[in-house]
């Protein structure tokens, strides 16, 4: 009997130890979760500290920090590497600045306004996986390679009259009320699987190289009126949930709208297809307007 009591006591003791360990683990995980909330940016760094480095042409490499104050490089020529990763930035003001070396803001959150209008990026510029919480302006900016892959713009984003000299990547980007009025894409333009949640304005935009909107989603009106596509343009499996306006657009090479879903009107008035146009499997929920358009004739 005593041995049985001892055995039961040992078993109860083992269970108690096990349960205690579980409780400690749960408390530890809970504490870690609370400690981690909002702590993507652990250490605060004054924007002035970074500006001082940049003015001395020293590299500005920061990770997991919160940049406090206005990151203001207005009208400056910058000859230092800028690499900011996994960080938060109060606001960006790069108006009319020139950057001779790569600029990277990877997986960053820009909390305030971001004004990069008329900025010149002579080397690569990357904002991959970054979030612009308020309005962002890149109007009249000039880029070499520009990477906005998986970037998020919950406010308006303005790329009016911007010039992309190299590869421009917006694949997987999430844009709200975006404007690319008369922008120029000299290199390949990659918008595959991007999401346009509001108005997407590409009025008079000029695409000189390959253009890929495969799998893109347009939640508001998509305006490609008077746009020029000098190379192959692919809208395969794209989804237009509002009117798609391609009035006066010109497609110089093969154009792909295969399996594209036009939920409302598809407007191609006075557009010109100078090469093959593929609409195999396309779905038209509204009117298809081809009035006055010119379709390539292979026998001509």
pLDDT tens for residues 180-192?
999 999 999 999 9
Question: Distance between CA atoms of 57 and 233, rounded to whole angstroms?
Answer: 41
pLDDT digits 0-9 by tens, 186-210: 999 999 999 999 999 999 999 999 9
93 and 231 housed in the same domain: yes
- If asked whether residues 261 and 144 sit together in one domain, one would say yes
What is the total residue count of the chain?
300
Domain membership of residue 300 (yes or no) is no
Query: Same structural domain for residues 267 and 229?
Result: yes
In this structure, are 117 and 54 located in the same domain? yes
Q: What is the DSSP string of 102-171?
A: -EEEES-EE-S-EE-TT-EESS-EE-TT-EE-S-EE-TT-EESSEE-TT-EESS-EE-TT-EE-S-EE-T
Under a CB-based contact definition with an 8 Å cutoff, are residues 267 and 292 in contact? no
Q: Indicate if 150 and 244 belong to the same structural domain.
A: yes
Domain assignment of residue 9, yes or no? yes
Tell me if 158 is assigned to some domain: yes
pLDDT at 298: 57
In this structure, what DSSP letter does residue 22 have? H
Taking the alpha carbons of 283, 288, 294, 300 in that order, is the dihedral positive or negative? positive
Place of tokens 């090479």: 253
Write out the two tokens for 234. Answer: 């692919």
Phi, psi dihedral angles at 126 (to 5 degrees): -130, 130
Same domain? 198 vs 126: yes
**Residue 183 in domain:** yes
CB 196 within 8 Å of CB 216:
yes
Determine the structural domain holding residue 197 and report its residue range: 45-295
Are 123 and 144 a contacting pair, CB within 8 Å? Answer: yes
Question: Is residue 55 domain-resident?
Answer: yes
**Total count of domains within the chain:** 2
pLDDT (0 to 100) of residue 36: 37
Same domain for 73 and 12: no
Measure the CA–CA gap between 67 and 86, rounded to whole angstroms: 11
At 117, list the tokens: 């209008």
At 4 the pLDDT is 45
Question: Which portions of the chain are predicted below pLDDT 50?
Answer: 1-9, 11-12, 14-41
Same-domain pairing of 26 and 59: no
pLDDT of residue 300: 55
Please tell me whether residues 97 and 239 are part of one structural domain: yes
SS3 at position 190: strand
pLDDT reported for residue 297: 63
């Amino acid at each position: 009997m005593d041995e049985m009591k001892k055995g039961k006591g040992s078993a109860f003791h083992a269970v108690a130890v096990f349960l205690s360990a579980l409780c400690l683990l749960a408390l530890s995980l809970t504490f870690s979760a609370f400690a981690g909330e909002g702590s993507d940016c652990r250490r605060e760094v004054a924007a002035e500290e970074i500006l001082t480095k940049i003015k001395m042409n020293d590299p500005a490499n920061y990770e997991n920090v919160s940049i406090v104050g206005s990151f203001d490089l207005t009208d400056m020529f910058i000859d230092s590497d800028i690499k900011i990763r996994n960080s938060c930035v109060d606001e960006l003001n790069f108006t009319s600045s020139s950057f001779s070396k790569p600029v990277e803001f990877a997986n960053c959150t820009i909390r305030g306004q971001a004004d990069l209008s008329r900025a010149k990026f002579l080397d690569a510029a990357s904002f991959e996986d970054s979030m612009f919480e308020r309005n962002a302006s890149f109007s009249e900016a000039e880029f070499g390679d520009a990477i906005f892959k998986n970037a998020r713009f919950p406010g308006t984003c303005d790329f009016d009259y911007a010039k992309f000299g190299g590869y421009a990547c917006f694949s997987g980007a999430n844009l709200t009320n975006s404007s690319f009025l008369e922008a120029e894409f000299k290199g390949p333009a990659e918008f595959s699987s991007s999401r346009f949640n509001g108005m997407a304005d590409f009025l008079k935009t000029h695409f000189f190289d390959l253009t890929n909107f495969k799998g893109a989603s347009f939640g508001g009106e998509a305006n490609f009126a008077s746009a020029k596509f000098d190379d192959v343009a692919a809208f395969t499996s794209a989804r237009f949930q509002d009117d798609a306006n391609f009035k006066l657009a010109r497609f110089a090479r093969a154009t792909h709208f295969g399996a594209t879903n036009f939920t409302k009107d598809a407007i191609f008035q006075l557009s010109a297809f100078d090469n093959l146009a593929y609409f195999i499997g396309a779905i038209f929920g509204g009117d298809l307007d081809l009035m006055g358009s010119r379709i390539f004739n292979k026998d001509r």
